[in-house]
Amino acid sequence: DDVLEILEALDLRDVVFVGHSVSSMIGVLAANRSPERFGRLVLVGPSPRYIDDADYLGGFTRADIDGLLDALDVNYLGWSEVMAP
């Protein structure tokens, strides 16, 4: 929603979206919703899944994701200071 809101506010079209990891998938979802705004997608290290299950390994456990979301809710600034370097 945020990506599309920015593109709409600036009235951008034929955008080259460059995304890494999770943002790659954000770009794919945005382009699927408003393809007229995108010219190309450059996807660096995208993953179609981020949570492991019985048939897929290569992501995170549900507990890992829940822990990350909890940490973001509790102390976003502290989390970002650790991740930014």
Nearest partner of 41 among 50, 31, 49, 33, judged by Cα: 31
Q: Do 61 and 34 fall within a single domain?
A: no
Q: How many domains does the chain have?
A: 2
Q: Do 42 and 69 fall within a single domain?
A: no
Q: State the sign of the Cα–Cα–Cα–Cα dihedral 59, 61, 67, 70.
A: positive
Q: Using one digit for the tens of pLDDT, what is the confidence trace for 23-50?
A: 998 999 999 999 999 999 999 988 777 7
Gap between the Cα atoms of 2 and 70, Å rounded? 22
- Please return the burial class of 8, using the count of CB atoms within 10 Å of its CB with bins 0-12, 13-18 and 19+: exposed
Gap between the Cα atoms of 19 and 41, Å rounded? 8
Q: Using one digit for the tens of pLDDT, what is the confidence trace for 43-82?
A: 998 877 778 888 888 778 889 889 888 988 998 888 888 8
Confidence of residue 16 (pLDDT cuts 50, 70, 90): very high
Q: Which residue range(s) make up the domain with 85?
A: 49-85
Q: Do 55 and 43 fall within a single domain?
A: no
Q: Is the pLDDT of residue 12 over 80?
A: yes
